[in-house]
A and B are shown apart, each in its own frame.
Chain A
Amino acid sequence: DAKTTQPTSMDCAEGRAANLPCNHSTISGNEYVYWYRQIHSQGPQYIIHGLKNNETNEMASLIITEDRKSSTLILPHATLRDTAVYYCIASTDSWGKLQFGAGTQVVVTP
């Protein structure tokens, strides 16, 4: 699976959009991009995933560049409850083997 690179941390003001970048320059054609988050002391929570096209659900939007070498997770209106570690993972569609990295610590401030 491709290695992903994310900033260590970022701050976001409550009510503003949070844009979380992820670099996956070695991603292969059959690897999906997944985003999970882990709120302190809880189990990770699935957010969204995509292959080539941009995706949107009730939690977030995922923008994947045309060359698929990077992506951005967008939380449209960040709330204090969005403070968490966000993980970007590139993985093939095989037996669910997700490799979590260090992620980005996002702190939403009032």
Chain B
Amino acid sequence: DTAVSQTPKYLVTQMGNDKSIKCEQNLGHDTMYWYKQDSKKFLKIMFSYNNKELIINETVPNRFSPKSPDKAHLNLHINSLELGDSAVYFCASSQDRPGLGLYEQYFGPGTRLTVT
């Protein structure tokens, strides 16, 4: 069973389009994340949701909007795609364990977005 899954795995689209990436976790975790890994391989956190509430929102253009319909899902919608949005996007999840060093995050396989 896949713990954290993402769809699609690859996404090729043109500038100006709107696209969504879906993420689902079957681990029963409370917290989910979106990360972006650019061409230089740096991995940066974008958003984090805890029990469907946004708790981390890094300096991300407002063209990016996360949506969490329930604890098991965190989707990423991107409006007006730009060339610089080309990257690999990873979803992750973790279980709240405050005070115990919580962050054993489980990552999905990634979605490679190419904007042409």
Q: Check B101 for interface membership: any CB of A closer than 8 A.
A: yes
Contact of B44 among A36, A46, A49, A100 (CB under 8 A): A100
A-B contact count (CB 8 A): 64
> Are B101 and A32 closer than 8 Å at their CB atoms?
yes
One of B64-72, B79-87, B104-112 at the interface:
B104-112
Closest to A33 in B: B101
Chain B contact-residue range equals 20 to 34
Chain B residue numbers with a CB within 8 Å of A42 are 109-110
Q: Check B75 for interface membership: any CB of A closer than 8 A.
A: no
One of A7-15, A72-80, A91-99 at the interface:
A91-99
Chain A contact-residue range equals 20 to 34
Give the Cβ gap from A22 to chain B, nearest Cβ, in Å: 16
> Are A100 and B43 closer than 8 Å at their CB atoms?
yes
Closest to B99 in A: A93
Q: Check A110 for interface membership: any CB of B closer than 8 A.
A: no
Contact of A91 among B41, B44, B99, B103 (CB under 8 A): B103
CA A41 to CA B31, docked complex, whole Å:
24
- Evaluate whether A46 and B45 lie within 8 angstroms (CB atoms) in the complex, with A93-B98, A93-B99, A95-B50 already known: no
Chain B residue numbers with a CB within 8 Å of A87 are 43
Give the Cβ gap from B114 to chain A, nearest Cβ, in Å: 15
> Are A100 and B48 closer than 8 Å at their CB atoms?
no
Give 3 closest A-B pairs by Cβ, nearest first. Answer: A43-B107, A100-B43, A32-B101
Q: Chain A: residues with CB nearer than 8 A to chain B?
A: 32, 34, 36, 38, 41-46, 49-51, 85, 87, 91, 93, 95-102
Q: Chain B: residues with CB nearer than 8 A to chain A?
A: 4, 31, 33, 41-45, 48, 50, 55-56, 90, 92, 94, 98-110
